[in-house]
Structure formats: structure tokens, C-alpha cells
Amino acid sequence: MKKNLKTTFLTGLFVIIPLVVSVALLVWFFQTLENLFSPLIGGVEQMIAPDIAHIPGVGILAGLLIILLVGFFARNVVGERILAALDNFINRIPWYRTIYSTVKQLTDAFSPDTARSFKEVVLVDYPMEGSQAIGFRTGTVEREGRMLAVVFVPTNHIYFGDLLFLPEERVVRLDMPVEQAVRIIVSAGIGSPSRFFSL
């Protein structure tokens, strides 16, 4: 009874902590922007229409606008290069790089670009026959008249791993969305379902 109560409490705690932390970070982000932009926008408001009271929600609007601008910036060539240089610089800072790389790995894993580049989830014999690994099919190539599946098997990071070229018959297609497979890899297998179903 006592053990069950402890397990139940810990389960609840691990469900609540990510929710509370993510909501707290969002609230902090939008409140910071509210405090930053409110005086500026309030001054403009007073100049245009002195009778209008303070408009709430300036932080949320500013936050959404900044997120969109960063998104547009990150999707062009110059932005990609600048962000890659910034990423390189941050990865040289001791202590901070550990926190940054962990958070970045989690966010990168669920980014739309990752989901689009992985066409389907597969199971392959790796690193040796008899042991299997989850991989992502990224394409198909032809070699000497034979079709080979291009499979990416992540190792310690969703963007680092081995690229395999395997005969189609050695690739087992799984009935699983890419997002679920990414969750399994990022959670070190904790998020694995009880059964895998092949297509």
C-alpha cells in the first residue's frame, strides 16, 4: 500500500513537473515582453488617443511576433549560417552547453523539419545481425539494378547517427508515426509501446 502510494505520487510528480515548467517558462517569456514593450506602446497610445486606457496582452502579441520573425530568419540561408555560428559559440561554453544541448536536442527532435525529412519508421538489424534498431527511411537509391532503402539510425542525438543502405527485404516498415519514434529515441526507450506492428 505504502509502495503503491509512493509510486503513484512519483508518477503524478513526473507528469506535473514538465507541464508546470513549460507553462512557467511561457508565462515568464510573455511577462518579460509585456514589461519591456508596454511603456513604449503605452507612450504611442497616449500620443494617438489620450483617452484610451492601457491595452493588455501586449506581451503576448510581441512574443508571437518575435517568434514569427525568428522563424522567418532561421529559414533563410543567412539566418541559418548565423544561427549555426551562434550554436558553435554556445557549445564552447562550459556548463551552459550541457543545458543548452539537452534542451536543443528535445526541441530539435520535435521540429517540423525533422518530421518532414523522415519518411517512415523502420526496424533494421543493427549494429549486428540479431540485434535491431529503430531507424528512419529518408529515401531510396538504386545500385546495380537493385533498390536500396536509405535508413538513418540515430545514436546519441537525433541528428547524429549512421546512414545505412539496405536491401528492401532487410527493412521492416513499422506502423508508427515519426513523432512517436522520435519520442522513443529521445526518452532512451522509456516511451516504447508494448508491441511493434509492422506494415
Give the pLDDT score at 156.
Answer: 63
Give the pLDDT score at 148.
Answer: 92
Output the nine-digit C-alpha cell for 44: 504611442
3-state helix, strand, coil in the chain (%, to 5): 55, 20, 25
**Domain ranges, ordered by start, for the chain:** 2-110, 113-186
Strongest mean pLDDT among 6-20, 60-74, 127-141, 177-191: 127-141
Q: Pick the residue with more confidence: 198 or 155?
A: 198
Give the pLDDT score at 58.
Answer: 64
Q: Which fold has domain 113-186?
A: SH3 type barrels. (2.30.30)
CA-based radius of gyration for the chain? 23
| Sheet order of strands, 132-143 included | 160-167, 146-157, 132-143, 120-125, 172-173
Q: Is the pLDDT of residue 138 over 60?
A: yes
Scored b (16 or more CB within 10 A) or e, 160-199 reads: ebeebebeeeebeebebebeebbebbbeeeeeeeeeeeee
pLDDT in tens, 42-61: 666 666 656 665 566 666 77
Question: With a threshold of 0.85, does the pTM exceed it?
Answer: no
Give the pLDDT score at 90.
Answer: 76
Q: Pick the residue with more confidence: 31 or 49?
A: 31
- The amino acid sitting at 107 is T
Burial (CB < 10 A; 0-12, 13-18, 19+), residue 19, is exposed
